[in-house]
Amino acid sequence: MESQGLVSVSETAGDGSPRQIQRERKFAGCLTRTETCACYPCCCCCFPIEGGVKALGILNAVGGICIILLLAFSEQQQRALEPFAEAFGIPLSVLLCINLIQNGVSICAGICAILAVEQKSARLAKWFFYVNLYMFVFALVYNLFTLAHQGGIEASMKKTYREKVEQQFAAMKESPTFANADSETLASLDAQKENTLAISDRVVSAGLSYMWLSLVFGLMYLFYLVYVSWSLSVKYEEASGSVSSRDARAMPVSFALVNRSGQAVAPFSAEPQSPQAGEGPPPSAPPFQVV
């Protein structure tokens, strides 16, 4: 029996006899169901949970579509994943497929959230919760794997940027501007190249040193999505359960009386009737069954 955020739990009393107690339903053992959805991560404003979930669903769907289009048609975005693929030891095509699948799941989650709110469906809300839970677990494993290979990612990114800088300065030396330059000008150009390489290395190291912070914020957002979707599913489950119980109480109980041969018997009064004067006892009623 579950209603109004309560769940029945079996517990053994002090005398050893079992008993049923009512406890409040909690998420992860500590959080109760929420009725609002806060703006993440600033929490500057709050919305009703249904409006917030619908907005998050639209955001997930639109964001997933945009990322899929970028990964599919932007060569620059594909090359941005090369250091990660090299550090992970997998082909770039495999990493692209993983990212495309994850963003496809994000689109499905957004559509499921929109339909759940529009139809007020407990089943769709539960599916929205399950999809968000899967995305959180996958992101947790992926982020831990990324942090474990942070050194390889940093080395691969430095190598990639060094190659780009080398190509740029090689093209500059072959240009008409530096074709007939003296040795002093070429030496100054080489010094500028070394400074650029040093700056790019420092930028890569500084950026990756704070990579864990962005991963944590992403995990917190996914965890909040799981919590909000769980709250919505519990709300719709309680609403559907209360409607079902009201319908069951309002449903009339009808039954018919039939005898052993299957023929219907007319209803009779439960009050005994005294026989009239000059009449014998009333005939006994045929045996009947309640169906």
pLDDT tens-digit readout, 22-77: 455 565 555 677 788 877 767 777 888 898 899 989 999 999 999 999 988 888 88
Distance CA 67, CA 41 (A): 21
Q: Are residues 24 and 39 in the same domain?
A: no
DSSP letter at 265? Answer: -
Domain assignment present for 258: no
Residue 274 pLDDT class (50, 70, 90 cuts): low
3-state DSSP helix/strand/coil percent for the chain, to nearest 5? 65, 10, 25
Domain assignment present for 286: no
Q: Are residues 24 and 50 in the same domain?
A: no
Q: Are residues 24 and 120 in the same domain?
A: no
Q: How many helices (H) and strands (E) does the chain have?
A: 9, 9
Domain assignment present for 182: yes
Residue that the structure tokens 């929109």 belong to: 114
Q: Is 104 in contact with 140 (CB distance < 8 Å)?
A: no
Beta partners for 8? 22
The verdict on whether omega for the bond into residue 252 sits within 30 degrees of 0, i.e. cis, is: no
Q: Are residues 163 and 149 in the same domain?
A: yes
Domain count of the fold of the chain: 2
Q: Are residues 9 and 114 in the same domain?
A: no
pTM of the entire predicted model: 0.68
pLDDT, tens digit (0-9, with 9 covering 90-100), for 133-155 = 999 999 999 999 999 998 888 99
Count the neighbouring beta carbons within 10 Å of the beta carbon of residue 53: 23
For 20, the domain range is 1-32
Q: Are residues 212 and 113 in the same domain?
A: yes
Residue that the structure tokens 């699948």 belong to: 101
